[in-house]
Amino acid sequence: MNVKQNILVMGGNGFIGSHLVDRLVADGHSVRVFDKYPERYRAPLTEVEYHYGDFGNRGLLGEALRNIDTVYHLISTSLPKTSNDDPAFDVQSNVIETIFLLEQCLAQKISKFVFVSSGGTIYGRPERLPIAEDAPTNPECSYGITKLTIEKYLALYHHLHGLDYLIVRPSNPYGSRQDPRGIQGAIAVFLGKVAGGEPIVVWGDGEVGRDYIYIDDLVEGIVRAVGTPSQSRIFNLGSGVCVSLTQLIEIIGDAIGSIVAVHHAPGRGFDVPQIRLDITRARRELGWNPETSLRDGVLSMYDFIRSAVKSS
């Protein structure tokens, strides 16, 4: 995207959002963030205009949307693992509030709406690997269903009102500013344990495989997807490689140069055995390629994790 824009990043103080904000600022855009909380790991940026509030506060949202060209929607009020505990909350706080957001975007004549969906959950148990964008979508958690539903509403708003939208489906992103004490992001959680001198807990036999994408590569993919003219509106963004938990632990040990203690626990029924995204479309249409090796990404993330664990 060469033209300088007024951009609103919803959820811009989170892990992915904060990196996206950095990139948009570096590209010379005027950036506004709407988020419930300040950033956890650093002070607010002087170049960014922050609007604090809950996603459900439509008055505040209306103000945040004023004079905005492009909206990036990264707010999610739920997580894959816990979303099934309260699906009604999930639907209300994500789907319904996103529909109100779309209504406000139409009213304020937003030129583009970018939604960060989920490549790890919306396909469910894949029939085959790698998983392309047109593969069946059978999410096995409420989080995946709400992501998919929002995608469908974006298509509907395009059909009814001409809303210009773009959807990215990241696999499993990792990198600095991801919470090592959280319940998602195996690499962050594992490195948090290692940095704190605790054993890594592996549920099951370690064969569960995921497609890990380094945060800088993901942000590059998002920016290219938005800035490249294309007929496609949905892009998988992953590494295109499936790495088992056992392999991941080996890579972590190799990268940090020490033996990693592992504790095995019973497998969890909700873990889809393997995810590997087909990233051919993003490669072909965006000229994008994930550049960071897992070893290099783990190593650079470990520096962040050590300082985060030390200061907690």
Ligand X SMILES: NC(=O)c1ccc[n+]([C@@H]2O[C@H](COP(=O)([O-])OP(=O)(O)OC[C@H]3O[C@@H](n4cnc5c(N)ncnc54)[C@H](O)[C@@H]3O)[C@@H](O)[C@H]2O)c1
Residues carrying an active site annotation:
143
Q: Which is nearer to ligand X, 4 or 181 (CB)?
A: 181
Could you tell me the smallest distance in angstroms from the CB atom of residue 5 to ligand X?
20
Cβ–Cβ < 8 Å for 4, 25:
no
- The Cβ of residue 73 has, within 10 Å, a number of other Cβ atoms equal to 25
Residue with Cβ nearer ligand X (11 or 302): 11
Tell me the closest approach of the beta carbon of residue 2 to ligand X, in angstroms.
26
Largest CA distance in the chain: 57
Backbone angles phi, psi at 252, to 5 degrees: -60, -50
Closest CA to 201 of 262, 112, 269, 286: 262
Quote the least distance from Cβ 277 to ligand X, whole Å. Answer: 11
CB of 164 to ligand X, least distance (A): 20
As measured in angstroms, the least distance from the Cβ of 67 to ligand X is: 20
Residue (96 or 261) nearer to ligand X, CB: 96
Quote the DSSP letter at residue 199.
Answer: P
**Distance in Å, CB of 136 to ligand X, minimum:** 19
**Which residue is at the shortest CB distance from ligand X?**
14
d(CA 157, CA 9): 20
Binding site for ligand X (CB under 6 A): 11, 13-17, 35-37, 54-55, 74-77, 116, 118, 120, 170, 172-173, 184-185
Of the candidates 224, 213, 217, the one whose C-alpha atom is nearest the C-alpha of residue 166 is 224
Cα torsion through 102, 104, 107, 112, rounded to 10: -50
Nearer to ligand X, 36 or 306 (CB): 36
Nearer CB in complex with ligand X: 37/259 = 37
| Buried/exposed 1-36: b ≥16 CB within 10 Å, e otherwise | beeebbbbbbbbbbbbbbbbbbebbeeebbbbbbbe
Q: Which residues contact 275 (CB under 8 A, 6 or more apart)?
A: 119, 120, 123, 126, 129, 131, 171, 172, 209, 210, 211, 242
Residue number, 266 or 290, with CB nearest to ligand X? 290
Contacts of 79 (CB under 8 A, 6+ apart): 143, 183, 184
